């Protein structure tokens, strides 16, 4: 006979359920104390705001060509100068925030989605399922750096969408390994045995009882991975394999700026600075999240 299992917090006695928010309050207090993490968080929020507000705050159309004013250095009219086609660099940079952020988020979502499923199945079922999935993870991790993404983009063809897929696949083994480890720990806890003895099926146990309890390392990893994904995607666009002209993606803008390094260094300077600060923001915010959410992960 099957017994309907209530969600975790409802299954807890009222006292324990009431005590649950305090865990998040403790986390928030810890995070707020970490000044560096707050700086990182502010940088990330700043860029998210720019991405959302780009159409309202960009002074010019990012695609508008003005050959008369090409390669102009920063001035009162064009705060970050103009590029080789006379387009306003600042407007392109502001719109580019949307592209670079989207690539990062979509790639991490792809990596996390498949990585979490593989990790949960591998950790929960063990046996041959674990062996097969673990070997797949080992093989995917055997590709150095962005070479796996590079190979995928070479097969699918250069485009920003394909870069998202390629960087996403590159992130799958990282998530799978972390989730597998956490699942192995959680599935041995007594409450999982209790839920199983009540007749809960594997799907309910995995997704309603194990998954919510391994969210901390996943959130930390996702934040850190956003930095890597944005860097990797910008790198692929820099090589001409990602965003194609005239898209104002930061890596592609930097690549274009390289051709004018001697005459108009501002073209390479501003997009590079934007990538570096956004990645720095995610890195230090991720560090802070890790310390607050999952101190055991601290090296």
Partner 1 sequence: MFVYIIRRLLQMIPVLLGVILVVFLIMQMVPGDPAVLLAGEGASAETIAKMRTQLGLDQPIMVQYAQYVFNVFQGDLGTSLRSNLPVWDEIMARLPATIELALASIFVTVVLGMIAGIVSATKQYSAADITIMVIALLGVSLPSFWLGLSLIYTFSVKLQLFPVAGWGTWKHMILPAITLGTAGAAIVARMTRSSMLDVVRQDYIRTAKAKGLRETVIIYKHALKNALIPIITVVGLQFGFLLGGTVLVESVFAINGLGRLIVDAIRMRDLPVVQGGVLIASIIFVFVNLLVDVLYRYFNKRIDLN
CB under 8 Å to 296, separation ≥6 — which residues? none
Which range touches partner 1 (CB under 8 A), out of 78-86, 116-124, 193-201, 230-238? Answer: 230-238
**Residue from 17, 189, 194, 276 binding partner 1 (CB under 8 A):** 276
Smaller CB separation from partner 1, 103 or 268 = 268
Stretch that binds partner 1, among 7-15, 46-54, 110-118, 276-284 (CB under 8 A): 276-284
Q: Is 147 in the site for partner 1 (CB under 8 A)?
A: yes
Indicate which single residue of 31, 215, 239, 297 sits in contact with partner 1 (rule: CB under 8 A). Answer: 239
> Segment near partner 1 (CB under 8 A), from 80-88, 89-97, 101-109, 250-258?
250-258
Say whether the peptide bond before residue 246 is cis (omega within 30 degrees of 0).
yes
Q: Residue 176 class from Cβ within 10 Å (0-12 exposed, 13-18 middle, 19+ buried)? A: buried
Nearest one of 236, 238, 234, 260 to 82, comparing CA atoms = 260
Check binding of 153 to partner 1 (CB under 8 A): yes
Instruction: Say if residues 167 and 107 touch (Cβ distance below 8 Å).
Output: yes
Which of the 8 DSSP states describes residue 143?
S
Rounded Cα distance, 76 and 178, in Å: 49
Q: In the set 152, 164, 174, 178, which binds partner 1 (CB under 8 A)? A: 152
User: Please, what is the Cα angle at 89 between 83 and 90, to 5 degrees?
Assistant: 170
Kindly list the residues in this chain that would bind partner 1 in the complex (CB under 8 A): 135-136, 138-140, 142-148, 150-158, 227, 231, 234-235, 238-241, 251, 254, 257-258, 261-262, 265, 268-269, 271-272, 275-277, 279-280, 283-284, 299
């Amino acid at each position: 006979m099957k017994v309907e299992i209530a969600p975790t917090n409802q299954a807890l006695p009222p006292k324990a359920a009431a005590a649950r928010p305090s865990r998040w309050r403790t986390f928030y207090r810890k995070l707020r104390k970490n000044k560096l993490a707050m700086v990182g968080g502010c940088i990330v929020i700043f860029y998210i705001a720019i991405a959302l507000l780009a159409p309202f705050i960009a002074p010019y159309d990012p695609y508008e060509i003005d050959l008369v004013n090409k390669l102009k250095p920063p001035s009162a009219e064009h705060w970050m100068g103009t590029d080789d086609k006379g387009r306003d660099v600042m407007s392109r940079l502001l719109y580019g925030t949307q592209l670079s952020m989207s690539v990062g988020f979509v790639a991490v979502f792809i990596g996390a989605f498949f990585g979490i499923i593989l990790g949960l199945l591998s950790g929960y079922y063990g046996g041959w399922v674990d062996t097969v999935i673990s070997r797949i993870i080992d093989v995917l991790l055997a590709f150095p750096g962005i070479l796996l993404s590079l190979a995928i983009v070479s097969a699918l063809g250069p485009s920003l969408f394909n870069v998202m897929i390629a960087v996403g696949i590159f992130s799958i083994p990282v998530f799978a390994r972390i989730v597998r480890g956490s699942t192995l720990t959680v599935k041995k806890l007594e409450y999982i045995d209790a839920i199983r003895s009540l007749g809960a099926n594997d799907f309910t146990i995995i997704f309603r009882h194990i998954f919510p309890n391994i969210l901390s390392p996943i959130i930390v990893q996702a934040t850190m991975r956003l930095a890597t994904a944005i860097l990797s995607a910008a790198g692929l666009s820099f090589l001409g394999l990602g965003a194609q002209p005239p898209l104002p993606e930061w890596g592609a803008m930097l690549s274009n700026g390289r051709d004018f390094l001697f005459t108009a260094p501002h073209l390479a300077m501003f997009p590079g600075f934007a990538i570096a600060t956004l990645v720095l923001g995610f890195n230090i915010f991720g560090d802070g999240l890790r310390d607050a959410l999952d101190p055991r992960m601290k090296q």
